[in-house]
Structure 1
Amino acid sequence: MPERARAARRRFPPRGGHDAGVAVTVLDRELYSMGEAAHLLSVKPARLRAWVDGYTRGQTHYEPVIRSERTGSELLTWGEFVEAGYLREYRVHGVSLQKMRVVVQRLRERFGVPYPLAHARPYVFQRDIVLEVQEELGLDSGLVMVRRVRDGQLVLAQKAQDFFGKVEFAAGAGTADDDEAVRLRPDSSAPQVVLDPLRGLGSPVVRNTRTANLYELWSAGESIAEIAEAYELPNGDVEAAVRYESRLRDQEAVA
């Protein structure tokens, strides 16, 4: 197994729903508060909470899209965060996501994993299963993950492809828990910036340095070259960190 995949399968403290002593993957690692995750995803906190843990409107209770049941926890695991990133790709296009709950449930059952959207298999290895689920549920065209083209090949829908392009998966074959999302690149204009659950507690980093630290030095008046020299980073990495943090701090929630 590649080193990256081995690292992703280290033991982490189990969260609710896992028996103590059971080996869990990096997807189960609690990393973000609801507010932190909403900020990183540029999603309104109330909307993210509804996706992750459900919500109540009047006398009606709406079950979560991501969690199998409501827990009340304000902490997101890496797997929940990655799945929320997938949902965001659809929400920014104005698509209602409540119907995605049953899709996630069905994929969870078919793949036998708690975070099906945070594995490579629906995007790469087992698109046929995704198509079966879509057809069984009569999923609206705006929510589909895969589609069949004229030659019969199954390809990712554009929004699923956009998300897939941001994620790095462990190099497994999808036959066990060996194809988890291990890294996410949140900004295509700053590809040096990554979110990695094994580095910086999941905070945005370039190499092993938090982008927030680099931005704070820059905003205090230090030059890109000075910061790069102090941290032994290429100037381009520091520029990417500053660009990313500036955009993150200026932007409003778009979903």
Structure 2
Amino acid sequence: MSQNVQTLVGIGLYTPAEAGRLINVRSAKLRRWLQGHEANGKHYSPLWKSEIDLDDGKAYLSFRDMLEARVASSFIENGLSAKKLRRAIEIAQQVVGERPLATKWLKTDGRSVFLQVAESEAEEDGEPECLDLFRSQYAFARVVKDSLRDIQFDGIYPTAWWPQGEKAGVLIDPARSFGKPIEKETSVPTEHLASAVRTEGSVELVAKMWDVPVRAVRRAVAFEQKLSEPALAA
């Protein structure tokens, strides 16, 4: 079923290019993950179904879709094959339901994928107890990388994200500005403030025009500048 703007409030809306810029993943790769693709005469189905369907044949990501893609990319960067990732998603769906990559319990060490299911206070080293999704047994994932850093959760599901860390002062909240990055103190989208500075040539002037603190404008400009620096993942 297609969606309208009203139904997208609190979900977030990103094109593959917008999401790719935020999570440092190529937009073409995001489209393949969401729409499936053909390779060497074989069809590969989507890794998961996007929450967004505008009925125009194009791919879009919700806030949770974007974070799932960020986790998927991180897993692959840590050495997990796309085939194993696809299988891990299928198994995890049986354990936690739909959208398992959008929970804070899914982790990897590059060889397997683990679903953290309990905190084991009895363990001397304090390691979380994890279920190995490929071996269907419990293990202690000592070397896993937490892919969901700088994310706020309501229970196990993400509600907001500090894309460059909380100290940078920029928040992505799907319930505000359709999930566009906003400066934390003013809630103004960073792209608006940074664009105004490029046009006016003065941080102080833009702060006066928008009636916001100079520090807020500087945070927005710094965020947008840093966002354009990293090379996209292959």
Q: What TM-score bracket applies, with the shorter chain setting the length?
A: 0.7 to 0.9
Residue of 165, 175, 182 corresponding to 1:205: 182
Question: 1:168 maps to what in 2?
Answer: 152
> 1:134 Cα shift?
4.1
Q: d(CA) in 2 for partners of 1:214 and 1:126?
A: 42
Which of 12, 30, 36 aligns to 1:54? It is 36
Determine the structure 2 residue equivalent to 1:36: 18
Q: CA RMSD in A?
A: 3.5
- C-alpha displacement at 1:169, in angstroms? 0.7
Tell me, yes or no, if structure 1 residue 116 matches structure 2 residue 100: yes
Structure with the higher helix share, 1 or 2: 1
Distance 1:191 1:66 in 2: 31
SS at match of 2:81: coil
Unaligned runs of 5+ in 1: 1-13, 17-22, 138-145, 149-153, 173-178
The corresponding residue for 1:196 is 173
Distance 1:65 1:217 in 2: 38
**Mapped partners of 1:155, 1:165: distance in 2:** 17
TM-score for both structures, normalised by structure 2: 0.72
Displacement after TM superposition at 1:101 (Å):
1.0
CA contact (8 A) 1:42 1:252 kept: yes
Q: 1:236 to 1:105 in 2, by over 3 A?
A: farther
User: 1:61/1:46 Cα in 2 relative to 1: closer, same or farther (>3 Å)?
Assistant: same
Please, which runs of 5 or more residues in structure 2 have no aligned partner? 108-114, 119-127
Identify if the C-alpha distance between structure 1 residues 217 and 73 changes in structure 2 by more than 3 Å, giving closer, same or farther.
closer
The SS at the match of 1:198 is: coil
Amino acid at match of 1:126: V
1:98 aligns with 2:80: no
CA distance in 1 between partners of 2:25 and 2:37 (Å): 16
- Scaled by the length of structure 1, what TM-score is found? 0.67
Distance 1:238 1:156 in 2: 39
Give deviations 1:81-128, integer Å, cap 9, x for gaps: 11001122234456533311111121111012x211212344796257
CA distance in 2, matches of 1:99, 1:43: 19
